[in-house]
Structure 1
């Protein structure tokens, strides 16, 4: 019997995995679509069913259903970086999103809803299952995990689309599939309620062997981020877009966001972040599990998507071409200028020298970015072209260098963060490197931002400084608008390339970080061996007002005409 159950489960997992590319939300699915009574009779098989739902969390890939999309993430569509091969507009940030084509985001809607459907089917069945009767303690935790994953899915849906239909059960054959979108405010309330219920069911922490599975802290972290986003300018009724699908008019919104962040802080013991002495120690924080990570996707278990494959791709797809890398997400010079000087002054107000842009910068500049002459994998990075090739050749990482020069950096930067220099660039396996989804530094920055908007600048400074001083910067002493900008800058730099900036610049509504000239540096090695650089515009990225949210796919509007399309589409 156990062998039969295992075969049935394996078949289901294979079917789910292969069908994921074609899943479309609102397809008619009977509530007993699984038909796997045997699975729900065994707590261990139920656990394996939950493992498949963890594929709903984000990973190193912006879109695992597209060839290119499996090889970089959303940083290439944000202020942080640009996509770096043949100047392809994969995000359609220049062409503009349409209901029929949102570029690399095309499968987001159907992919998220396919997992909502799976979690709903599970939650519909689990309470009355034989597995729950046999081992209620274990199965209730699994229920908490599924509630967490469903809430996390909704938190992503509303970031991309605004208010969406709230489906808290699997639809049956007799249900109405011409659904309407619920208000943004109702969606936030639903997410918060689900996370509170999940937190009550989940353990506070997990043993190392269960790293990557949901905890009470993880649920509380999702709640804190969701409420911070809801309180932001994008969802204020006075800004555009507005109306029920986008507005959050809760009078206590900033206090709620502050309280949610403080709940996490109190549960972890209101402690300092892991200290570091230099850039190398800071880099290592992102290569293996540690106590500051609240929730992450692991790549060392048979139950988590592509296992080591997606993990190992990061080193190859982000390294310079001279290292046999693809350099797909090239950080912009605009973003590099967000990193302070070593003394805490900004590049606009401090002793920044544009002829020597890589000198005297803050520690995270050296930990997170690759730049001309940066030491990396046993040699300096060489983005330069030689003034005289008879004296010295062009740099190996330049447009005239080695390997596939179409992958040479167009901005004069590559991403160093997350790179495991102890494994080969191509085909290396970093078996412990997680994809970090929520961590304590973000919670401190969430709390600082909420406290600023509540008028509590002393608390705001205290918690932003917990992040800034860990990065060896002097304490921030600013107030007023300068303090708010310091909090935002700290968030950009500390959370760089972790999937935040695309959404942060939108919720702050900072349009010159959404539409802008992408700047880069061209490097030249002169005959005397010294370097010079020229700043230039790589490409101009416009901003369309409708790009605060993705369009609902045209195919979904056609199937469910009552789904209201987002403004501008």
Structure 2
């Protein structure tokens, strides 16, 4: 009862501050926790304890890469990846909100600058919760229920650590709530210790979490949620970026490397455990691009963990301008096209018959004919039928005679094109959009989840791990499950071509879901980290006929220090034991 008595002395003010200040944006689980509880009641029943953990679900990712500032909550990490370019045109043809052109510094990594500060408080929330409920009246009343709630919070903490090590490499492992008397000069653990900690936590909570949840609890942790986090963490740890023989750093390798002789087998086993639990079933079948699009608009059995949204409460109060219908629709639909896919990325989409755009069936003068189904589901291209009309990115040779396209962009924005939000690359994101909204994008889409983990990723995790183990037959089987669900042929490649097929499948199947930024890094594929960023421009002659030109928009550089974010300077200055990530010293 010691922690509970201490908590009672702290009173309601501390409760409100510790648990709810970070939940000031609307609660994703649509549980109203804005009113503080009397301190003598808050730990008295399992129902009250349950309310305390809900705000920690705000630790999960969502539509915006950041949770503060105007821009970061309106686009995802795709704009910093091979997939897309952050698009706001102004007179400079774009705002480089991710600072990809000048490069990251210890003081300014662009829209990532709040990742450290906005993530760590959730670790403390979890630690405070776990300490307070231990020995509480609620635990005495129903110990089994409290153990399940503790497992749920430990899952959330493990997921937070999984995010931290993706961005920063090794971090300190903190499992207790700090007090003013504690030593804050805490060094970073090793990367391997962090991975082992996350996996061990998940192994503890998996047996305690429920296998399924009722519909009203969609978005809360289950066994499959925890198993999916474990699968991704082990796959990432096994990858080239964390191999001691391949890591790009020249010192302090323990902060970045994972040295396990069974690393690929462990990654394969973690994925296979999920596959076995779901009965090794096929993915949900789809007949066409529309059916595939619909998979991302509502709850379905392939989703293993997601951030749920209703019709009243979503990420930033009632700001519908933070939802993808507004932020990603082309300009002519009153959208902002804030993440415009690169032509480099669009070329990853195969032809309908399974051949690549490097093969003879691809016609660069008619680049959108006979492409694979996911191209039409994910990409808004010139001529695509969208929200009741065809998209038109074209610039007229004389717009006093024939008008520029409604979705167009031109460097000369005073006389041509559509000011600010026309696509610089000639593409926009279609995935996630609810086209039933019609012209009114100032609406929500109740029930549309932000998917964090899904079964297709697990099959691709398994395929990649089995390839590295040397079981190419099994790798082909599971990558083909994803390919064939997308109406593509089975994968028949072998050797390095098979690995490339698995990577391509991840790029296309997991498009714009926050994977590519990390995938290209863990594969150390620097051709997709620094590259000539290409787009398509369209010209319309006086007969209304369009023609295209492929062009280079910018040269995106890449410095190897950008495999990780810098630890904020303020943290380095007040924590002498901290070692800054290499290249930011």
TM-score (norm 1): 0.93
What residue number does 1:180 align with? 187
Match of 1:453 among 449, 453, 468: 468
What residue number does 2:269 align with? 259
What residue number does 1:210 align with? 217
Match of 1:471 among 486, 498, 501: 486
1:132-531 correspondence to structure 2 within 5 Å = 132-239=139-246, 240-241=248-249, 243-300=253-310, 305-306=315-316, 309=319, 313-389=323-399, 391-399=401-409, 405-423=419-437, 424-531=439-546
TM-superposed CA distance for 1:307, in Å, is: 6.2
* 1:46 is aligned to 2:49: yes
TM-superposed CA distance for 1:507, in Å, is: 0.2
Q: Secondary structure at the match of 1:154?
A: helix
CA distance in 2, matches of 1:363, 1:50: 41
CA distance in 2, matches of 1:418, 1:540: 29
CA 1:303–1:141 in 2, change beyond 3 Å: closer, same or farther?
A: farther
Q: Secondary structure at the match of 2:97?
A: coil
Q: Secondary structure at the match of 1:422?
A: helix
CA distance in 1, matches of 2:402, 2:431: 30
CA distance in 1, matches of 2:332, 2:340: 15
Q: Secondary structure at the match of 1:94?
A: coil
**1:308–1:431 Cα contact (<8 Å) kept:** no
What residue number does 2:81 align with? 78
TM-superposed CA distance for 1:103, in Å, is: 1.1
Tell me the alpha carbon deviations over residues 234-273 of structure 1, each in whole angstroms, 9 at most, x when there is no partner.
0000121261001111000000000000001100110000
TM-superposed CA distance for 1:136, in Å, is: 2.4
Q: Secondary structure at the match of 2:85?
A: strand
TM-superposed CA distance for 1:314, in Å, is: 1.3
Q: Secondary structure at the match of 2:306?
A: strand
CA distance in 2, matches of 1:42, 1:455: 52
What residue number does 2:27 align with? none
**1:391–1:527 Cα contact (<8 Å) kept:** yes
* 1:127 is aligned to 2:138: no
What residue number does 1:540 align with? 555
CA distance in 1, matches of 2:43, 2:394: 61
Tell me the alpha carbon deviations over residues 164-183 of structure 1, each in whole angstroms, 9 at most, x when there is no partner.
10001112232211000000
Tell me the alpha carbon deviations over residues 97-142 of structure 1, each in whole angstroms, 9 at most, x when there is no partner.
1111111011111111100001011112222111112222322221
Unaligned runs of 5+ in 1: 22-33
TM-superposed CA distance for 1:304, in Å, is: 6.6
What residue number does 2:30 align with? none
Tell me the alpha carbon deviations over residues 361-406 of structure 1, each in whole angstroms, 9 at most, x when there is no partner.
0000000000001000000001011234355211111126999621
TM-score (norm 2): 0.91
TM-superposed CA distance for 1:161, in Å, is: 0.6
Q: Secondary structure at the match of 1:398?
A: coil
CA distance in 2, matches of 1:173, 1:333: 53
TM-superposed CA distance for 1:476, in Å, is: 0.9
**2:73–2:322 Cα contact (<8 Å) kept:** no
**1:448–1:463 Cα contact (<8 Å) kept:** yes
CA distance in 2, matches of 1:379, 1:66: 34
Task: Single out whichever of 306-315 and 332-341 deviates more from structure 2.
Answer: 306-315
Q: Secondary structure at the match of 2:323?
A: helix
* 1:558 is aligned to 2:573: yes
CA distance in 2, matches of 1:464, 1:489: 10
* 1:93 is aligned to 2:100: yes
Task: Single out whichever of 407-416 and 306-315 deviates more from structure 2.
Answer: 306-315
Q: Secondary structure at the match of 2:241?
A: helix
CA distance in 2, matches of 1:183, 1:466: 36
Task: Single out whichever of 63-72 and 443-452 deviates more from structure 2.
Answer: 63-72
**1:320–1:327 Cα contact (<8 Å) kept:** yes
**2:407–2:418 Cα contact (<8 Å) kept:** no
CA 1:481–1:425 in 2, change beyond 3 Å: closer, same or farther?
A: farther
CA 1:84–1:95 in 2, change beyond 3 Å: closer, same or farther?
A: same
Unaligned runs of 5+ in 2: 1-7, 25-36
**1:75–1:81 Cα contact (<8 Å) kept:** yes
CA distance in 1, matches of 2:392, 2:249: 45
**1:320–1:407 Cα contact (<8 Å) kept:** yes
Structure 1: 4+ residue segments shifted above 6 A: 8-11, 301-304, 400-403
CA distance in 1, matches of 2:568, 2:144: 41
**1:43–1:138 Cα contact (<8 Å) kept:** yes
CA distance in 2, matches of 1:552, 1:540: 26
CA distance in 2, matches of 1:302, 1:259: 41
Q: Secondary structure at the match of 1:244?
A: helix
TM-superposed CA distance for 1:36, in Å, is: 3.8
CA distance in 2, matches of 1:111, 1:180: 20
Count, aligned residues: 551
CA 1:304–1:41 in 2, change beyond 3 Å: closer, same or farther?
A: farther
Tell me the alpha carbon deviations over residues 502-532 of structure 1, each in whole angstroms, 9 at most, x when there is no partner.
0000000000100111110001123343321
Tell me the alpha carbon deviations over residues 462-495 of structure 1, each in whole angstroms, 9 at most, x when there is no partner.
0000000000001110000100000000000000
CA distance in 2, matches of 1:366, 1:17: 42
CA distance in 1, matches of 2:143, 2:14: 26
